[in-house]
Amino acid sequence: MTLPKKAQKTRTLAERWLQGAYQGSRWLWPLKPLGALYQWGMARREQAYQHGKKAMWKAPVPVIVVGNITLGGTGKSPLVAWLGNWLVAQGWSPGIVTRGYGGISSHYPLLVTAATNVAESGDEPLMLAQQTGLPVVADPKRSRGVQALVAAGCDIILSDDGLQHLALARDIELVVVDGARGLGNGRCLPAGPLRESPSRLQRVDAVIINGDSQQALPVGSVTTMQLAPRYWRRLDDGARFSLAPLPFTLPVHAVAGIGNPGRFFRTLSNLGVSGDWHPLADHQHYSADALKFADIRPIIMTAKDAVKCYALAPSNSWVLDVEATLPPEFEYWLAARLSALS
């Protein structure tokens, strides 16, 4: 895949910084004072909302926020999709509100359907709309988006990546942490990968580890979530195929414009897929030329990439669809919390 030189340089610098932040590279040490200043600013901001110095809008229905305190992909969107399906099974009528990062619309709130132009909605809102069939609204002002969902008949709201959007009051906070990368060097931006202090985890309702944890966290208990591959989906017609035998030939070109491409490539390897891996920037913008390789092979991508590639990708392109799985104990806990709210 060929990207413009400027984009390649930007991606390389971003990847190097993120890798250093998670591995504790010494070259980030000079940024520690800036990280401490950022952490102090975020703490002051949270206190301002808690003490009423900044306005917080309370929805007339329960709001569940799904977020993280680290940069890079942690698995928030699969959890949101799981929650949406679980809530429907419990008799709720959920709606999903999201900022709509990467999309630009002429109007907000934007009701995102399976047919919405990804340039308007952004990739994750469109993916969630296609995966869940639930009402999804993208709006930089989340309270306005929630009002639209409530007006449409939703009786509970899932706020995707909304932990730091404190202007929207919430009833339950769920934080997702990548098990393999944890909290990195434990420092805030730009000295590390944290959006907030690690102590923020002690003030949320549940910490959910995506995969097996390799780092101790400053919390008493956690819930483990796994992302399980479900099937291969042919991009041009949506036909689904079982994981084995592989419905395409090897080797492949695999592309991933997500927060943690390495996790996707490891999953492919575990499924017996071999070829060349092409890690891209999160929310990567695609073009037809960008999906042209020197040799003709099947192209494998994530569901998040797929929503941007329907009209661009070659015919022999495939999507690996995954689903989150959580233990029954988490379901019991969540049901009890929701019951206490009613």
In a domain, 35, yes or no: no
Q: Average pLDDT for residues 178-186, to the nearest whole number?
A: 92
Residue 325 confidence (pLDDT)? 97
Question: 287 and 333 in one domain?
Answer: no
| CATH code at position 218 | 3.40.50.300
Least confident interval from 86-90, 208-212, 213-217, 239-243: 213-217
Dist. CA 137–CA 126, nearest whole Å: 10
In a domain, 21, yes or no: no
User: Has residue 8 got a pLDDT over 70?
Assistant: no
Question: 239 and 212 in one domain?
Answer: no
With the C-alpha atoms ordered 1, 161, 132, 177, is the resulting torsion angle positive or negative? positive
Dist. CA 313–CA 297, nearest whole Å: 12
Question: 102 and 90 in one domain?
Answer: yes
- Give the pLDDT band of residue 11 (cuts 50, 70, 90): low
Q: Which has more confidence, 284 or 15?
A: 284
In terms of Cα–Cα distance, which of 228, 222, 212 is closest to 271? 228
Residue 7 confidence (pLDDT)? 46
Dist. CA 24–CA 182, nearest whole Å: 12
User: Has residue 1 got a pLDDT over 60?
Assistant: no
pLDDT tens digits for range 213-267: 878 888 888 999 999 999 999 999 999 999 999 999 999 999 998 888 899 999 9
Question: 259 and 164 in one domain?
Answer: no
Least confident interval from 13-27, 64-78, 258-272: 13-27
Residue 282 confidence (pLDDT)? 79
**Three-state secondary-structure class, residue 20:** helix
Residue 283 confidence (pLDDT)? 75
Question: 247 and 127 in one domain?
Answer: no
- Give the pLDDT band of residue 63 (cuts 50, 70, 90): very high
In a domain, 167, yes or no: yes
Please give the mean pLDDT across all residues of the chain.
92
In a domain, 269, yes or no: yes
Strand partners of residue 178: 210
Share above pLDDT 90 across residues of the chain, in percent, rounded to a whole number:
78
Least confident interval from 21-35, 57-71, 299-313: 21-35
- Give the pLDDT band of residue 189 (cuts 50, 70, 90): very high
Question: 308 and 213 in one domain?
Answer: no
pLDDT tens digits for range 69-79: 998 788 999 99
Question: 211 and 107 in one domain?
Answer: yes
Dist. CA 257–CA 7, nearest whole Å: 13
Residue 104 confidence (pLDDT)? 92
In a domain, 209, yes or no: yes
Question: 95 and 201 in one domain?
Answer: yes
In terms of Cα–Cα distance, which of 127, 78, 73, 160 is closest to 326? 78
Which letter does DSSP use for residue 202 in this model?
A: G
Residue 291 confidence (pLDDT)? 87
Question: 179 and 240 in one domain?
Answer: no
In a domain, 28, yes or no: no
In a domain, 182, yes or no: yes
Question: 302 and 220 in one domain?
Answer: no
Question: 337 and 314 in one domain?
Answer: no
Residue 39 confidence (pLDDT)? 96
In a domain, 41, yes or no: no
User: Has residue 4 got a pLDDT over 50?
Assistant: no
pLDDT tens digits for range 195-206: 999 999 999 999
User: Residue 157 sits in which domain range?
Assistant: 63-225+325-341
Q: Are 145 and 139 in contact (CB under 8 A)?
A: yes
| pTM for the model | 0.91
Residue 280 confidence (pLDDT)? 86
Question: 313 and 260 in one domain?
Answer: yes
User: Has residue 5 got a pLDDT over 70?
Assistant: no
User: Has residue 94 got a pLDDT over 80?
Assistant: yes
DSSP strand E in the chain: where? 63-67, 94-98, 110-112, 136-138, 156-160, 172-178, 206-210, 223-234, 240-241, 252-256, 275-279, 299-302, 317-325
* Structural domains in the chain (count): 2
